[in-house]
A = this chain, B = another copy of it.
Amino acid sequence: MKNLLNGIEDVLLMGPGPSSVYPDVYSALSRSTLGYLDTYFIQIMDEIKALLQRLMKTRNELTLAVSGTGMAGMETCLVNLLEPGDAILILINGVFGTRMREIATRLGADVEVLEFEWGTPVKPETVETKLKERGYKLVAMVHAETSTGVRNPAQEIGQLLKATDSLYLLDAVTSLGGIEVEVDGWGVDALYSGSQKCLSCPPGLSPVSFSSKAQKAIANRKTKTPSFYLDIDLIGKYWGGEKRAYHHTAPMNMLYGLYQSLLLVMEEGMDKVFARHRKVHEVLVQGLEELGLQLLVEPPYRLPMLNAVRIPKGVEDAAGRSALRTRHKIEIGAGLGPLAGKIWRIGLMGHTAREENVQRLLSALPEVL
């Protein structure tokens, strides 16, 4: 039978994720599968936990990788922290804030939102005013809005929330491993990320972390978490403690890949990895400007790993991306929602964030403009 795998091309992934995968991570994926309660496998899980704690700058015991993609991580946080009627305030300036609203609404929460123009950041002063109106069980924000390339003020919102009883939920899908994330320092109570962005592992896992305050809130639920698969208390009992209890069969090979990618980040050094992301972002921005292109986001709020560039007049969105993919084997991302057809999203995440990759894109772009 024809095997399509033989026709897979090596594409430079410069879209919104997945990013290009580290060669060592590909090797890790192929290591021999072990049993889900194998003591050696459990050692690897323990190391993943320790490495995630380092990367997230947290001492949270409940730190692990959920067996699903970043969206599963978002749902894990919301489904465990919210019960029907619970008040949540969601700060929205892009697709992923909107997704949180969708999930919280499905869970029957009392959902309020503050919306900010897409392409601009969440404004702490607006949030501060809103927080004086009433209390919320949970306040949620996306750190790095993958749909726009905006960096939201995660530390400042954390500071505001320290004066309240609210739990603080932060989406770090695109930020973790590319810019500083400080769970404990910023007062984040629940955080989720994804394996396929700045960690440059394929998609399929969602690192999460819950503070002891969040764990207490979960322990005090009146109703059971409606999702069994994403019940963080049960998942935590598989990932920690003396006696590991079966909950589901962990995806070993994906976890090998995540473990390897975390090791690579630590071996390079977190600060150096972050500096590399900043550096290649600057090279990209300069190159784009020299080509006469404009970025969507104002300089102080730009993410290094996700660059939203306005599609110039007369250039056709899909045709341009398709030419890059077909002729140059480079993938860049389309705009989403109100930004569809208006921007391209150029990712510089993890292993993709190399100057030679930026040069390859900058050399190819004139042909499609």
Interface residues of A (CB under 8 A from B): 1, 3-5, 7-11, 13, 15, 17-18, 20-21, 26-36, 38, 40, 43-44, 47, 67-72, 74-75, 79, 99, 102-103, 106-107, 194, 196, 202-204, 224-230, 246-254, 256-257, 259-260, 263, 266-267, 325, 331, 333, 336
Given contacts A69-B67, A251-B202, A251-B254, contact A4 B44 (CB under 8 A): yes
CB-based contact B251/A69 at 8 Å: yes
Q: Which of B67, B203, B336 contacts A72 (CB 8 A)?
A: B67
Contact of A7 among B33, B40, B194 (CB under 8 A): B40
Q: Cα distance A20–B21 when bound, in Å?
A: 25
Question: Given A204-B254, A260-B5, are A226 and B229 neighbors across the interface (CB < 8 Å)?
Answer: no
- What CA separation (Å) do A103 and B229 show in the bound complex? 9
Given A106-B228, A229-B68, A36 and B203 contact (CB-CB distance below 8 Å): yes
Q: Are A69 and B249 in contact (CB under 8 A)?
A: yes
Q: Which of B4, B43, B106, B249 contacts A43 (CB 8 A)?
A: B4
Q: Which residues of B contact A7 (CB under 8 A)?
A: 40
Q: What's the nearest-Cβ distance from chain B to residue A290, in Å?
A: 27
Q: Which residues of B contact A331 (CB under 8 A)?
A: 34-35, 38
Chain A binding site: helix, strand, loop or mixed by DSSP?
A: loop
Given A70-B248, A204-B251: A21 and B9 interface contact (C-beta under 8 Å): no
Beyond A226-B106, A229-B75, whether A263 also contacts B3 by CB under 8 A is: yes
Q: Which among B33, B68, B70 is the interface contact of A68 at CB below 8 angstroms?
A: B68
Task: Select from chain B the residue with minimum beta-carbon distance to A194.
Answer: B249
Contacts of A68 in B (CB 8 A): 67-68, 72, 229
Q: Which of A7, A18, A266 has the most CB of B within 10 A?
A: A18
A246 and B32 contact, Cβ closer than 8 Å, known pairs A4-B44, A44-B4: no
Residue in chain B with minimal CB distance to A331: B35
Contact of A1 among B4, B8, B74, B266 (CB under 8 A): B266
What residues of B have a CB within 8 angstroms of the CB of A106 in the complex?
224-228
Shortest CB distance A356–B (Å): 17
Q: Across the interface, which residues of B come within 8 angstroms of A70, CB to CB?
A: 248-249
Residues of B within 8 A of A67 (CB): 68-69, 72, 204
Residues of B within 8 A of A40 (CB): 4, 7-9
Q: Contact at B203–A250, with CB atoms within 8 Å?
A: yes
Supply 13 A–B pairs (Cβ within 8 Å), ascending by A: A1-B266, A9-B32, A13-B34, A18-B33, A33-B202, A71-B228, A71-B248, A106-B226, A106-B228, A203-B249, A204-B204, A251-B254, A253-B254
B194–A228 CB distance below 8 A: no
Which 7 A/B pairs are nearest by Cβ-Cβ distance? A204-B251, A71-B248, A202-B253, A26-B30, A29-B29, A203-B249, A75-B229
Q: How far is the CA of A243 from the CA of B249 in the complex (A)?
A: 33
Question: Hey, which chain B residues are within 8 Å of A202, CB to CB?
Answer: 33, 251-254
Chain B residue with the shortest CB-CB distance to A332: B35
How long is the Cα–Cα vector from A150 to B69 in the complex, in angstroms?
33
Q: How far is the CA of A30 from the CA of B24 in the complex (A)?
A: 10
Q: Please give the distance in Å from A251's CB to the nearest CB on chain B.
A: 3
Distance A342 CA – B75 CA, assembled complex (angstroms): 38
Q: Is the CB of B226 within 8 A of A107?
A: yes
Partner of A20, one of B3, B33, B254: B33
Q: Report B-chain residues with C-beta under 8 Å of the C-beta of A35.
A: 11, 13, 15, 18, 331, 333
CA distance A9 to B39 in the complex (A): 12
* Least distance between A93 CB and chain B CB atoms (Å): 18
